[in-house]
Copies of this chain bind each other. A is one copy, B any other.
Amino acid sequence: RSGEMAKLTQLIDNEVFRAYATYATIVLLKMMLMSLITAYFRITRKAFVNPEDTASFGKGESAKKYLRTDADVERVRRGHLNDLENIVPFLGIGLLYALSGSDLSTALLHFRIFVGARITHTLAYLIPLPQPARGLSWVVGYAVTISMAYKVLKTALYL
């Protein structure tokens, strides 16, 4: 089966596909970082949601007081959900875009702006920066995804 393996390797050797693989992985790692930040705030703020998570603080009322919401925890969670809502479309549409025969420089422009916009969005959410920083970074990532979707539909449309 080495012939088939070679063909798969050719896919990952294509520069547009390699660029997609790189930026998709970076933005997914950034999204995964939100889980660690949530855990960090849950532990430092002592704000948990599952009773079994507070068992180490003792039993009964002494542990129950740590079952609470915390403004910082909720902020990170909103940023995480916003990532899911926006990175899932990028993953799907971006993969199809990378297979649509776009030229390398245009593809790199799309991928770089999207990932830059999402990193900015996270910083704007967590610091937090005054609006319209978060709103604008969201719009930029959204517009890049729409632009890729347009190219995919123009190339592949089969209804």
Q: Using a CB–CB distance below 8 Å, which chain A residues touch chain B? A: 1, 4-5, 7-19, 21-22, 24-25, 28-29, 31-32, 34-35, 49-50, 52-53, 55-56, 75, 78, 80-81, 84-89, 91-93, 95-96, 99-101, 125, 128-131, 134, 138, 142, 145-146, 149, 152-153, 155-159
Contact = CB atoms under 8 A, between A and B. Distances in A.
Given A84-B88, A128-B52, A22 B93 contact: no
A92 B88 CA distance: 9
Contacts of A12: 96, 99-101, 155-156
A48 to B, nearest CB: 10
B53 A101 contact: no
Q: Top 8 A-B pairs ranked by shortest CB distance?
A: A18-B158, A21-B156, A18-B156, A28-B89, A21-B96, A19-B158, A91-B92, A4-B14
A8 B46 CA distance: 51
Contacts of A53: 131
Nearest to A80: B85
A24 B131 contact: no
Given A22-B156, A25-B93, A49-B78, 6 more contacts: A18-B156, A19-B159, A24-B93, A25-B92, A25-B152, A28-B92
Nearest to A138: B35
B22 A85 contact: no
Nearest to A148: B25
B85 A55 contact: no
Contact of A52 (B17, B18, B81, B130): B130
